[in-house]
Amino acid sequence: MKIQLASSYGFCFGVKRAIEIAEAHRGSVTYGPLIHNKDEINRLKEGFNIGLAERLEDIETNDAVVIRTHGIPKNELAVLKSQDHKVIDATCPYVTTPQNIVQKMSVEGYSIVIFGDKDHPEIKGVVSYAEDPEDAFIVLEPEELESLPLKGKVAVVSQTTKKPEDFAKIVTALLETRKEVRVFNTICTATFENQDAAAELAKKADVMIVIGGKHSSNTKQLHSICERHCKDSYLIENEQELEASWFDGKELCGISAGASTPDWIVQNVINKIQEMKKVDEVI
């Protein structure tokens, strides 16, 4: 069997930047998980004494606080800045973009439509930048737009990790009913590249291994894309979840990884597969 890595996979710019920021502030606390990868978070905890606070009240008075890659709600950021904390903002620039757009367009009197998962931390942060919370709406399907009290002019943004074709459906539905629609494509380019590379590899692979956090939106998207082209596609967080039977009779094993997956975890997976199965080549 051969192992082939996708031409684009793993750490995106925003995640790499956040990790470097955290490492540079040894002994600090992240407000919420810095990224969606518990193994990497444990590495930061053990190697750099980086703590984790899930609630504002869990943050000690003199703590240096690192803002997670996905960002946090505007009001919570204001609370942190008003207290005796050193605030280090590791929010991905691709996430601050929709935050700024929502704030600007809301001030200009547009209804705001956000394509994304309402429970995702990124979206919780983005929607908080609307001047009028009652005029900002989070949707996943075009049908949800029908019952919304939208103004004649609408601004629409997307969660950074969503699929462009799904975002296009939301935009098309808005264009059919509103007089003015301002469309801001806020989907991350790294997401495009990883998804396209995973799809191309899955078309020729006998088995696909997608590595990343089970709660990571972009990793789940990668797995879904791989399943379309390769029925034997598996989503794992680390090498401990691998099963030898997955590789029985397989000639080409493809590997992709989510934007929050570090290279050391990918290498651990490759090493484990090589222990389970005779591998002729890793390409």
106 is in an annotated binding site: no
28 is in an annotated binding site: no
- The answer to whether 160 and 70 have CB atoms below 8 angstroms apart is no
161 is in an annotated binding site: no
49 is in an annotated binding site: no
The angle, 0 to 180 degrees and rounded to 10, between the axes of the packed helices 93-107 and 13-23 is 110
The CA distance from 9 to 223, in Å, is 12
36 is in an annotated binding site: yes
Please state, as a whole number, how many other Cβ atoms lie within 10 Å of the Cβ of residue 171.
Answer: 18
Helix, strand, or coil (residue 157): strand
70 is in an annotated binding site: yes
85 is in an annotated binding site: no
Burial classification of residue 206, based on how many CB atoms lie within 10 Å of its CB (0-12 exposed, 13-18 middle, 19 or more buried):
middle
Tell which residue, 31, 8, 6, 7, has the closest CA to residue 18: 31
Concerning whether 122 is annotated as a catalytic residue, the answer is yes
Catalytic residue among 122, 143, 193, 200: 122
218 is in an annotated binding site: yes
120 is in an annotated binding site: yes
The CA distance from 274 to 267, in Å, is 11
Residues contributing to the annotated binding site for [4Fe-4S] cluster: 12, 92, 188
Residues contributing to the annotated binding site for isopentenyl diphosphate: 36, 70, 120, 216-218, 260
Q: Which residues are catalytic?
A: 122
Residues contributing to the annotated binding site: 12, 36, 70, 92, 120, 160, 188, 216-218, 260
